[in-house]
Structure 1
Amino acid sequence: MTTNEKSQSILLAGASGVLGRHIAHALTEAGHKVTGLGRSGENGIRADLMDRDALLRAVDGHRFDTVIHAATALRKPPMRDSDMYATDALRIQGTAHLVEAARAAGARRFVVESMVFGYGYGDHGDRPLTEDAPFGPPGRTPRLERHIAGMRTKERLAFDAEGLEGVALRFGCFYGPGGTDALLPLLRKRQLPVPGDRGRVLPWVELTDAARAMAAAVERGRPGQAYNIADDTPMGFRAHVETVARTFGLPKPMTVPLWLMKPMSYAHTMMASRLRVSSAKAESELGWRPLYASSGEGLAAMRAASRG
């Protein structure tokens, strides 16, 4: 097994994002030096992943041991398919450009944020998927293929990059500090209707748990390998949102038929999916276990922290 546990110099694309801030903290706590890369002034290196030439100029003269791609174009949860298009592009063109930048900066390791939806949107039954399941199958529709192609290509670019040790983390749905906060005003105003789950469940992972997994992958991930990262308790979208409301003392969300969500095309597709994954490989190879076995536990910790 590859081990890179010494203090590393790490370039983190997406450091100012919700997940990125947690990753930067986890890496710093583990003794690594983190430099953020992105368009905002919060980053040590300012550059747009979609602008290849400007990106290469920005990293010129810098040296990093590892480069992490955790950048998205999302500023709020995606509701419509069009909300995902800029992130789809970042996963394809942005990843290709960042691979070039990683090589130019002398990096040896390239770790990418991926998602469990790369196994395909839809009903996968009750058996948890392992990393041996086909990843990036053709999408059932052109819009779904656009999203899946982004995840498929991002991983392939990482794994196939000559001279780089590519590792991918396939995360469940995120929640926790900086993520769940966006739901609270909607729940307070009863502006977040949810459909019945009807046996549909999704994998979830708390954001600080996800960040710890990224630090573990930097240090112990095997080159060319992907790892599922999710907690022990898959949960339907409605059940998750109801748990948020109950934990924070907010009104229970209104339940609506799933078909009413169709105008919010991406959210409808996600809520209509049934997907479970196994994180056993991450436990055995990365030494990673979720601190929060369920979103109920993670949300309770978030609530307690918010009370000071």
Structure 2
Amino acid sequence: MRILVTGGAGFIGSQFVRAALLGELPSGPGTRVTVLDNLTYSGNRANLAPVADHEGYTFVQADIRDAAAVDEVMPGHDAVVHFAAESHVDRSISDASPFVTTNVLGTQVLLDAALRHKVGRFAHVSTDEVYGSITEGSWTEEWPLAPNSPYSASKAASDLMVLAYHRTHGMDVTVTRCSNNYGRYHFPEKMIPLFVTNLLDGRKVPLYGDGGNVRDWLHVSDHCRGIDLVLHRGRAGEVYNIGGGTEMTNRELTERLLAACGAGWDRVEHVTDRKGHDLRYSLSIDKIREELGYEPLTGFDEGLADTVAWYRDNRQWWEPLKEKAELHA
């Protein structure tokens, strides 16, 4: 199978590419991958270094909003796995425009090209944030969309665009919605890599509000395994939630990160809460479990320890990215 992976130089996309080419996904070996990535501030070809010399790997630098470039690269692929997106909520609050143009218009450009060139499957990767916030219980795939940030609103719009192409054109599409990811190669502006790298540098970490916001944490390898299951066996036109089954408050997570880095609460700086900050996310994974046999395999303690150790051992990877993130803040 030849797959076009958009955003394949980012955190989750690069994990999928590495795992696909190294035969670590349920689909097994033999996959060929073309990465399409614009290498914006969070895209990093170093994320793909472990497979850079793989015979099944091709890299194309282009913007998914560039219809001519997308039309040139699309032919000959059996499937698209669409990760490319602006994804940082704080940045969307400061300026929503790149989120609308990339996440919505970029997705439409890809869909048109995939339709025109008769690509077999279009697997769209989304987020649980499109559901909004939930006080109790867990979201199923039928839950109404109620996004609360410009980022999540743009992702909800792209989800609906993908599903509309299925209903209108009969395209073979799937949508996956994941909970918060963590793991190696995570750009150091998101909570876990930001906190770990700050603590390793002897700096303070910024905790929003009272730290009571609840998130479900999903190891990136489990997420990519779930995407692969949906890519190969998911039903066309369906949405699948992919969760990690580990819910905790941001304060509880901060305690774990402090302990892992040998730091105390004097290193925590409470900052003004984010505008429109969702209180709790919680995904039901009953559908993907029952239909495709998905289960998260990486325990949170194990995954977090591995993640912290990786950042401790790979300063040469994240130190330049910290500088880049601060320049683009």
**Pairwise TM-score range, normalised by the shorter structure:** 0.7 to 0.9
User: Structure 2 residue aligned with 1:254, among 258, 264, 268?
Assistant: 268
Residue in 2 that maps onto 1:276: 282
**2:196–2:308 Cα contact (<8 Å) kept:** no
Percent of aligned pairs sharing the same letter = 26
> Equivalents in 1 of 2:276, 2:263: separation in Å?
26
RMSD: 2.5
**What is the CA deviation profile of residues 171-196 of structure 1, one whole-angstrom value per residue up to 9, with x for unaligned ones?**
11121111244432222333312133
Q: Give, in whole Å, the separation in 2 of the partners of 1:285 and 1:37.
A: 30
* Distance in 2, Cα, partners of 1:18 & 1:158: 22
Report how many aligned residue pairs link the two structures: 279
Structure 2 Cα separation of the partners of residues 138 and 243 of structure 1: 29
Give 1:301's aligned residue: 306
Aligned-pair CA distance for 1:117: 0.7
CA contact (8 A) 2:6 2:82 kept: yes
Distance across 1 between alignment mates of 2:222 and 2:96: 24
TM-score, structure 1 as length reference? 0.81
What CA distance in whole angstroms lies between the structure 2 residues aligned with 1:292 and 1:84?
34
Distance (Å, rounded) in 2 between the aligned partners of 1:87 and 1:186? 27
**Hey, what does 2:238 align to over in structure 1?**
225
Check 1:184–1:148 CA distance in 2 against 1; reply closer, same or farther (3 A cut): closer
Residues 73-222 of structure 1: pairs in structure 2 closer than 5 A: 73=86, 78-80=89-91, 81-82=93-94, 85-120=97-132, 122=133, 124-135=134-145, 137=146, 139=148, 144=149, 146-161=150-165, 162-179=169-186, 180-188=192-200, 189-194=202-207, 195-198=209-212, 200-222=213-235
Instruction: Say whether the 8 Å CA contact 1:129–1:278 is kept in structure 2.
Output: yes
8 Å contact kept, 2:178–2:241: yes
Secondary structure at the residue paired with 1:193?
Answer: strand
Structure 1 residues 86 and 126: CA distance shift in structure 2, 3 A: same
1:292 & 1:269 partners in 2: Cα distance?
31
Say which is worse superposed, 298-307 or 43-52, in terms of deviation.
298-307
Does 1:48 pair with 2:47?
no
SS in 1 for 2:247: coil
TM-score for both structures, normalised by structure 2: 0.76
What are structure 1's unaligned runs of at least 5 residues? 1-7
Offset at residue 147 of structure 1 (A): 3.0
In structure 2, what is the equivalent of residue 17 of structure 1? 10
2:124 alignment partner, SS class: strand
Indicate the structure whose relative CO is greater, using CA pairs within 8 Å and at least 6 residues apart.
1
> Can you give the 5+ residue segments of structure 2 that lack an aligned partner in the other structure?
46-57, 187-191, 314-329
The 8 Å contact of residues 217 and 243 in structure 2, kept in 1 or not, is answered as yes
Q: 1:38 to 1:304 in 2, by over 3 A?
A: closer
1:117 and 1:148 in contact (8 A); partners too:
yes
